[in-house]
Structure 1
Amino acid sequence: MDPPASPAPPPQHVRRRRSIGVHAPWWFALPAVAIYLFIVVVPSLRGAVFSFTDWNGLSSDWDFVGVANFIEVMTNRRALAALRNTVLLAFVVTVIQNGIGLLLALGLNSVVKSRMLLRVVFFAPVVLTPLVSGYIWSYLLAPRGAVNAALTSLGLETWTRDWLGDPSTALYAICLSIIWQFSGYSMVIFLAGLQAIPEDVLEAATLDGAGVWRRFWNIVLPLLNGALVINLMLSLIGGLKQFDQVMAMTGGGPGVATETISTTIYKNAFSSGQYPVSIALAVVMTILIAILATIQYRLTLRKAD
């Protein structure tokens, strides 16, 4: 008896079509990857090379100077003040913005009436550009602005001051502007996480006698870990890169009280012409963001475990 014949291989055009189908997602992603490489990766690598040179920004002639630009960054008082201000701003914004966002999300998640309207109201500042937000708060915090007028009407004249002209309050005034604008963004992410929590889990905990605080700490917060990681990462990185609101509200002043890494990079490059130093500072900022974001991410995951 003859053995059964093996099935004939598919025609060549069928095999080619299957091969194209398997690799189709990569072909669709190729244009975006190419644009990203051309616009982001290549300039970043080229800039990293120039941070070790004395390039003046225009000439094609330059010499390697080793780590001289990085030494200048680490010993420059203005750059060190900017680094300190940046870390402080990022910390304050990250903690308070996410705290307010979580409280708003918890409140909206338990509200039935007017929930959609309240979402729109709390999210509305997010659609503004940071520059517009900065100008709004500049008017509010001006010596004759609405904040001082409100304090005066309440009989608190001693509390009035030039909020953006006082070195002790200027940086925190900028933090207030950022928190006001982006707390709604954190709220939306937390709200999505809350609505993904199964209702039967919370009901079972309630039947077991768990109170509001115990349900939040033992059930809600662990299940919000994904939303928490996303919010912390976004707010931390956004705070470390802050530029628009600082330039709109104070320009880095008074003195260096609100100078950040981003504003220092801008001024060194476009006001002082110190392009290699600016690039070196940008490299330092990139490394700082990567380190802090990695630490924060790992600590959050460890807490979840």
Structure 2
Amino acid sequence: MVRIKLLRRELSYGMLIMPALVFYLVFSVYPFLSMFYYSVTDYSISKMTHLNYVGFKNYVSMFNNDMLVAGFKNSLIYALIMTVFQTALGLVLAIFLDRKLFSRNVLRSVFFLPAVFSPLIIGFLWNYLMSTSDFGLINKGLTALGLAKINFLGDADLALYSVVLTQLWQWTGWAMVIFLANLQSIPKDLYEAADIDGASAWKQFWKVTLPLMQPSVNVVAVTAMIGGLKVFDIILALTDGGPGNATQTIMTAYMKTSFNEGFYSKGAASGVVFFFVVMLITTVMMRVLGKWGNRIQ
């Protein structure tokens, strides 16, 4: 009798999750398996039927494609810089704005506001600000000070870092909000006890605040890393991967290989590799952050 009740309960729970499971299988698992299938064929805009199996030829040719190689390299650089600086700056802002300041609510809103807008809007805004033409406000200010113009988005050595700057401006406020929520959950008694023990503000940060901030640090760091690896829209709005391949990312190279050039099988191969790269980096990152959390607690 008990087993029948348990079985009925499991069946009822299974029926409740069935719609979400079907949605996941249809829109996540099936497209990925299809992408893997097409990656080992000769599928292209000139051959969309009667596909032939070509093995791992598309995977090998991917590493001979300058655009795809540049995309992987730039995505890793972009994601690493975004993860480090977004986490660090967001944490600093959160600690500063957790103090009893008269204008802290206004400042919180100001820093968070850019995160509300679409990256495409942010891209068009910064394209205007960084332009080398007469209406570019930043270069206008530089020339007013007697300095030379800087080609932020047209210089291959500066373009990627200029894009990173715009995204730090947009998303640091979001990280700040996550950290603030965690900070405000820390019991004040711990700081009072640390004061009684004579701990300095710096020691309180390392021994009390940072260990208890580990969950939010994990969230911000991992989401920043994943978001950085799959960045697409801000690149499209600012540089479209240029100049040359200086700001090409995995996603922009994938889109151009697949849809602009019509090599669907090569694009699928890069998508499969991208999936496993993100999974590997995320797994390693979670383990490193977990060990760091255990060490500081």
Give, in angstroms, the shift of residue 151 of structure 1: 2.1
- Decide whether the 8 Å contact of 2:71 with 2:245 is kept in 1: yes
The 3-state SS of whatever aligns with 2:248 is coil
Q: 2:21 aligns with which of 21, 33, 41?
A: 33
Give, in angstroms, the shift of residue 251 of structure 1: 0.5
Partner of 2:184: 195
* Cα separation, 2, equivalents of 1:73 and 1:111: 55
Partner of 1:150: 141
Do the aligned partners of residues 117 and 19 (structure 1) sit closer, same or farther apart at CA in structure 2, a change above 3 Å counting? farther
| Count of matched residue positions in the alignment of Structure 1 and Structure 2 | 290
- Decide whether the 8 Å contact of 2:72 with 2:250 is kept in 1: yes
The one-letter code matched in structure 1 to 2:200 is G
Partner of 2:92: 103
Partner of 1:67: 56
Give, in angstroms, the shift of residue 54 of structure 1: 0.6
Partner of 2:264: 275
* Cα separation, 2, equivalents of 1:28 and 1:117: 43
Q: 1:131 aligns with which of 120, 127, 142?
A: 120
Give the RMSD, CA atoms, in angstroms: 1.8
The one-letter code matched in structure 1 to 2:143 is T
Partner of 1:117: 106
2:38 aligned with 1:56, yes or no? Answer: no
Partner of 1:173: 162
* Cα separation, 2, equivalents of 1:67 and 1:132: 40
Give, in angstroms, the shift of residue 93 of structure 1: 1.0
Give, in angstroms, the shift of residue 147 of structure 1: 1.1
The 3-state SS of whatever aligns with 1:75 is coil
Q: 1:213 aligns with which of 197, 202, 212?
A: 202
Partner of 1:256: 245
Do the aligned partners of residues 150 and 26 (structure 1) sit closer, same or farther apart at CA in structure 2, a change above 3 Å counting? farther
The one-letter code matched in structure 1 to 2:207 is N
TM-score (norm 2): 0.92
Give, in angstroms, the shift of residue 126 of structure 1: 0.9
Give, in angstroms, the shift of residue 287 of structure 1: 1.0
Do the aligned partners of residues 20 and 109 (structure 1) sit closer, same or farther apart at CA in structure 2, a change above 3 Å counting? farther
Give, in angstroms, the shift of residue 128 of structure 1: 0.7
The 3-state SS of whatever aligns with 1:66 is coil
The 3-state SS of whatever aligns with 1:157 is coil
The 3-state SS of whatever aligns with 1:110 is coil
The one-letter code matched in structure 2 to 1:174 is V
Do the aligned partners of residues 23 and 103 (structure 1) sit closer, same or farther apart at CA in structure 2, a change above 3 Å counting? farther
* Cα separation, 2, equivalents of 1:168 and 1:157: 19
Give, in angstroms, the shift of residue 25 of structure 1: 4.1
Partner of 2:288: 299
How many percent of aligned residue pairs carry the same amino acid?
36
* Cα separation, 2, equivalents of 1:105 and 1:60: 56
Partner of 1:242: 231
Give, in angstroms, the shift of residue 288 of structure 1: 1.0
**Which sits farther off after the overlay, 57-66 or 84-93?**
57-66
Runs of 5+ in structure 1 lacking a partner?
1-8
2:219 aligned with 1:224, yes or no? Answer: no
Partner of 1:140: 129
* Cα separation, 2, equivalents of 1:26 and 1:121: 45
Give, in angstroms, the shift of residue 112 of structure 1: 4.2
